[in-house]
Each structure stands twice: as C-alpha cells, then as structure tokens.
Amino acid sequence: MKDMKTPIAKVRGLGSAKGGTHHWLTHRVTAIANIPLVIFFVVSFVGNAGKGHAEWVAWLKQPIASVLMILFVANMVYHMRLGLQVLIEDYVYDPGTKFASMIALTFSCVLIAALSIFSILRIAFGG
C-alpha cells in the first residue's frame, strides 16, 4: 500500500467518534452505583458463608435480595463492558482483531448478564 500521508494527516479534521464523553460518564456513574451494591454483595455472601442449597435459595427469594442482586449483576456487567472496551482499544492494534474482540466482548457481557438475571428470577419466582 503506497500512501504518502502521515497517520496524523489521515485523522486530522475527521473529529472523534462523538461517543467518548458518554462512555466516560457512564463508566463513572456505574462505578458510583457499584459502591453500595458491592457492599451489599460482600455482606450477603459473608453472612451466608457455608450455607447449603435450600438456605441460599431462601435467601435469594427475598424481594430485596433478588432485586439488589439483579441490580448488582446488571450494573457490574455494564461497568465491566465499558472497562474491558478500553483495554481492547489500548492493547489490540489490528483493526480486524479489534472489531472481533469488541463484538465478542459485547456478546459475552450480554450472555453473562442474561444467564445471571434469568437464574435469579427463576429462583425468585420458582415454587
């Protein structure tokens, strides 16, 4: 490929993708929401340490526990999606690999959230 343009000349004037501020702010908002949710998560798991299946199900069936666990999973996975996106942008140089990594990341995060939230709901509504 014969291209006399320098890299800076190629991007000059094109502007940003216009998504950076939203990404940055959402990362911070989910970080703040994670503080109380992580405290809830840690306190709950320490408090139920060593319990068996029936006791864990009984705990998770409580409306407060179900809802806070769903919020924790949703917020944490969203925060994780934003953070790992930055890692891919920083460390994956090849555009094709970068694109594939981004798609794989997004699909994985949706799968993790869906599996977790479905499991919580199944326990919450189960007989």
Asked if 53 touches other proteins (CB under 8 A), the answer is yes
Identified binder of other proteins from the candidate list 68, 80, 88, 92, rule CB under 8 A = 80
Whole-number Å distance between alpha carbons of 71 and 22: 21
Judged by CB under 8 A, the residue of 33, 71, 74, 84 near other proteins is 84
d(Cα 92, Cα 76) in Å, to the nearest integer? 23
Residue 5 region, left (φ>0) first, then alpha (ψ -120 to 50), else beta? beta
Please tell me whether residue 36 binds other proteins under the rule CB under 8 A. Answer: no
Which range of residues in 12-20, 83-91, 95-103 is near other proteins by CB under 8 A? 83-91
* Contact range with other proteins by CB under 8 A, out of 13-21, 95-103, 118-126: 118-126
Torsion region of 126: left, alpha or beta (phi above 0 gives left; psi -120 to 50 gives alpha):
beta
Give the interface segment with other proteins, choosing from 14-22, 46-54, 95-103 (CB under 8 A).
46-54
* Residue from 109, 105, 111, 74 nearest 88 by CA: 105
φ, ψ of residue 34 to 5 degrees: the values are -65, -25
88 close to 105: Cβ distance less than 8 angstroms: yes
Q: Which of 26, 34, 44, 85 binds other proteins (CB under 8 A)?
A: 34
Binding site for other proteins (CB under 8 A): 3, 5-7, 28, 31-32, 34-35, 38, 42, 45-50, 53-54, 56-57, 60, 73, 76-77, 80, 83-84, 87, 93, 112, 115-116, 118-120, 122-123, 126
